[in-house]
Amino acid sequence: MGYKAVDRFSVDSADVPAAEREQTDMHRFFYENKGPIVHKWRHYLDVYDRHLSRYRNSPFRLLEIGVSRGGSLSLWRRYFGPRATIFGIDIDPRCARFGGRDGEVRIGSQADADFLEGVVKEMGGIDVVIDDGSHVARHQYASFRSLFHLLSSDGVYICEDLCTSYWRGRFEGGYRRQSTFIEVAKRLVDDMHADFHRHGENVPGASRSIGGLHFYKGIVVIEKAPQPLPTHVEVGVADL
């Protein structure tokens, strides 16, 4: 998560019902964690499982922005299995100590396009990006601008903790402030429908590359998929 959550939203893991803790392998692996700390909003676990389960036990490539205390790398490794290529990046050099066991760690800024492209090149490409980095609006957009076009044609881009899009100050947020990532994501809805209006695309090529946008509380999932020109078809017998 990368920041101290507001206390009124916090619960003790022991108070989570057993049925929820066993809901999916993602839930089970998270709540069974005995290693480095991993900190997530509870409902994210279902989102991860829903959109990323197809990658399990396959040789895909995941890049997580934000290593923090190292626990998420262990969670991803346990969930996705040994065939996954998993990299994490963080600006804090202390996070380098988490590299080499469950994934590789590289130190640098998520707003540095050259650094990001170098990591992607080292990985041999990317299929999934999870932005759990600084949560600062301009950093989120900079990472998206650098990485989305490098994502595989059927990849998934996740930006989480978008609650910060509403928080002024450190996170550069504010209700409907146009520079926040929640507003960037909203504009992608218009981009997907560029065939039906004349206002162009905020992200060039989005109408031909985005298969779906999924908004959840505090998290957005952007699914890439090649999109041909939309066509419609009639079937059946006329004048019955």
User: Which of 27, 51, 135, 139 is labelled catalytic?
Assistant: 135
For 8, counting Cβ atoms within 10 Å of its Cβ (0-12 exposed, 13-18 middle, 19+ buried), the class is: exposed
Taking residue 13's Cβ as centre, other Cβ atoms within 10 Å add up to: 10
Which secondary-structure segment (H or E) carries 80? helix 71-80
Residues paired with 167 in a beta bridge: none
Taking residue 216's Cβ as centre, other Cβ atoms within 10 Å add up to: 17
Could you confirm whether 232 is annotated as catalytic? no
Active site residues: 135
